[in-house]
Amino acid sequence: MRALFLLTLLGALCPPAAGAQGTPDEATLNRVGVTREVRPGVRVPGTPDTLNASVTLRYGPPRPRAVLVLMPGYLGGAGSFDRLARQIVALDPRVAVWAVDRRSNLLEDQAAFGQTDRTRLEALVRTGLPVRPARDLGFLRDWGLDTTLRDWRVAVQEARALTPDVFIGGHSMGAGLAGFYAAYDFDGEPGFRGVRGLVMLDGTPDLLHGREVSAQEYRRGFWSTLGPITGLDSLTRFPYVDTFYFGPKLASRADAQAQLAQLFPQAPAPSGGLTPLPATNLAAAMMQLEQRYALLPFLAVRTGHATNTMEQSNPLPRLLGAEEDAQTIVGPQTTERLIGWQNDPQAPTDARDFVSRFWTPLTDMVEWYFPQRLTLDVSAASADTRGTPMQALRVWHTAEVTAPVLGIAAEAGVTREGDYLRYGAQLLGQTTVKTLPGAAHLDIVTARSDQVARWVLDWMGRFGPAEPVAGHP
Q: Indicate if 236 and 253 belong to the same structural domain.
A: no
Q: Give the domain-ending residue among 309, 339, 358.
A: 358
pLDDT in tens, 220-262: 999 888 889 999 999 999 999 999 899 999 999 999 999 999 9
pLDDT in tens, 3-33: 332 323 333 333 334 334 478 999 999 999 9
Q: Indicate if 388 and 314 belong to the same structural domain.
A: no
Taking residues 278-305, report their average pLDDT: 95
Which residue range is the domain that position 282 belongs to? 248-358
Q: Indicate if 260 and 389 belong to the same structural domain.
A: no
Return the H-helix or E-strand segment holding 373.
helix 372-380
Domain with 436 in it: what CATH number?
A: 3.40.50.1820
Whether the upstream peptide bond of residue 468 has omega within 30° of 0, thus cis, is no
Residue 468 placed within a domain: no
Sign of CA dihedral 371, 373, 376, 381: negative
Cβ neighbours of 252 (radius 10 Å)? 26
pTM: 0.93
pLDDT band at 385 (very low <50, low <70, confident <90, very high): low
pLDDT at 298 over 70: yes
Q: Give the domain-ending residue among 311, 334, 358.
A: 358
Residue 11 placed within a domain: no
Q: How many domains does the chain have?
A: 2
Residue 156 placed within a domain: yes
pLDDT at 66 over 80: yes
pLDDT band at 384 (very low <50, low <70, confident <90, very high): low
Q: Indicate if 287 and 370 belong to the same structural domain.
A: no
Q: Give the domain-ending residue among 308, 329, 358.
A: 358
pLDDT at 212 over 80: yes
Residue 224: its pLDDT value, please?
85
pLDDT in tens, 328-366: 999 999 999 999 999 999 999 999 999 999 999 999 999
* DSSP-derived 3-state class of residue 274: coil
Residue 7 placed within a domain: no
Residue 466 placed within a domain: no
Residue 188: its pLDDT value, please?
94
pLDDT in tens, 388-438: 665 679 999 998 999 999 999 999 999 999 999 999 999 999 999 999 999
Taking residues 202-228, report their average pLDDT: 87
Residue 67: its pLDDT value, please?
98
Cβ neighbours of 45 (radius 10 Å)? 7
Among 133, 150, 82, residue whose Cα is nearest residue 374: 150
Residue 16 placed within a domain: no
| R_g of the chain computed on alpha carbons | 22
**Burial degree of 288 (CB within 10 A; 0-12, 13-18, 19+):** middle
Instruction: Tell me how far apart the alpha carbons of residues 246 and 241 are, in angstroms, rounded to a whole number.
Output: 7
**Burial degree of 434 (CB within 10 A; 0-12, 13-18, 19+):** middle
